[in-house]
Amino acid sequence: MSLPDPTIEAARDILGDSLREVRKAVDGCSADDLNRRPIEGETNPLAVLVTHAMQSTRSWLSVATGAPPPERDRDAEFLVVVDDAAGFLSWLDDISAECRALLEGDVIYEPGATVTAPWRTYGADEPLTAAWALLHALEHLREHVGHAQLTRQAL
Question: Where along the chain do its domains lie?
Answer: 6-154
Tell me what percent of the residues of the chain surpass a pLDDT of 70. 97
pLDDT of residue 2: 59
Residue 88 one-letter amino acid: F
Nearest to 126 by CA among 136, 113, 115, 112: 115
Q: Write down the CATH superfamily of domain 6-154.
A: dinb family like domain (1.20.120.450)
pLDDT of residue 112: 95
pLDDT of residue 106: 79
For residue 1, name the pLDDT band (cuts at 50, 70, 90).
very low
CA–CA distance, 46 with 50 (Å, rounded to integer): 6
Average pLDDT, the chain: 93
**What are the C-alpha distances in Å from 14 to residues 18, 77, 102, 146?**
6, 24, 14, 14
At 128-138, the pLDDT tens digits run 999 999 999 99
At 30-40, the pLDDT tens digits run 999 999 998 88
pTM of the prediction? Answer: 0.93
**What are the C-alpha distances in Å from 50 to residues 25, 31, 126?**
9, 13, 26
